[in-house]
Amino acid sequence: MDIIKELGDSRLYNLHSHTQYCDGKARMEEFAEAAAKAGFTHYGYSPHSPICVESDCNMAESDVPVYLAEVDRIKRSAYGEKVKFYASMEIDYLGNHWGPAIPYFQDMPLDYRIGSVHFTPNKHGEFIAIDGAASDFIRKMHDYFSDDIRYVVEKYYEQVHEMIAAGGFDIIGHFDKIGHNGSHYAEGLDHEEWYNDLIDGVIAHIASAGIIAEINTKAKKVHNRFFPDERHWKKVVDAGIPVVVNSDAHHPTLINTDRDYPLNILDGLRGL
């Protein structure tokens, strides 16, 4: 599916959102109602995918058919007459044995796929969630990563590169997510030269792979940060990467949160 073409010139859309089957805070129908009320043209559900390690945030494999049936029901409901709904997943990448490219996800009848890295392996090969509260991250840095922040950041971006190379997805989710917790652990880390070099490498890889990048607005209100960070938007646009602006909503009141600002900046960068 050509997502960019589907969206046309609409500004009222969201392609990254969560559900009761993962860590979303409301039922899918409540998100559908909110999307219709807000005058959205397009709305994609993207629960955290089933995963091969222990996780409270991810969907159970046994819920996948129920989830897909619920998207179908919503597509055919009265909301579906107003809004175009999509079945997607935010698929975790955990190495070549688990990620968007594996047959399990490729064979799933999804309208499009989001690939995201939320887990980074430590030196013993254990996958550790690097997302979530900064206080947890700081504890994990000590417990699992011997307080080696550069190792974690470099390993995170290594995972991002591997995921892009493996392919099988349309949109890369919040590609610099580690910048947030990383800079909580070591202030200013995400402004250092080596870090910016890592970002430039990822942007070049995304461009050559021909995938879409998102600007993720979920953390703007609470942490005053977009993903990717606003400093990188011009580079992303200049690299010719198609960009969508997603709220990564976990609650129906947040489906359109903080989207206007990046949409306006993108217009400026594109010379519109």
**Angstrom distance (rounded) from CA 39 to CA 50:** 31
CB of 175 to Zn ion, least distance (A): 10
Nearer to Zn ion, 20 or 116 (CB): 116
- Segment near Zn ion (CB under 5 A), from 76-84, 169-177, 193-201, 224-232? 169-177
**Angstrom distance (rounded) from CA 264 to CA 216:** 14
Nearer to Zn ion, 70 or 176 (CB): 176
Is 17 a residue that touches Zn ion (CB under 5 A)? no
Residue 245 structure tokens: 């602006």
Is 70 a residue that touches Zn ion (CB under 5 A)? no
Site string for Zn ion, 78-97 (x = CB under 5 A): ------------x-------
Say which DSSP state 47 is in.
P
DSSP bridge partners of 13: 42
CB of 93 to Zn ion, least distance (A): 11
Is 116 a residue that touches Zn ion (CB under 5 A)? yes
- Segment near Zn ion (CB under 5 A), from 6-14, 113-121, 181-189, 239-247? 113-121
Task: Report, in this order, helix, strand and coil percent for the chain, each rounded to 5.
Answer: 45, 15, 40
Give, in degrees to the nearest 5, the angle at Cα 207 between 214 and 88. Answer: 40
The four Cα atoms 99, 185, 135, 147 give a dihedral, to 10 degrees, of 80
Nearer to Zn ion, 171 or 266 (CB): 171
CB of 211 to Zn ion, least distance (A): 16
**Amino acid making up residue 262:** P
Total residues contacting Zn ion (rule CB under 5 A)? Answer: 4
Chain residues 194-253 in contact with Zn ion, contact rule CB under 5 A:
248
Tell whether omega for the bond before 252 is within 30 degrees of 0, i.e. cis.
no
Q: Kindly report the backbone phi and psi dihedral angles of residue 103, in degrees, each rounded to the nearest multiple of 5, phi listed first.
A: -55, -35
Is 170 a residue that touches Zn ion (CB under 5 A)? no
CB of 123 to Zn ion, least distance (A): 24
| Residues contributing to the site for Zn ion (CB under 5 A) | 90, 116, 173, 248
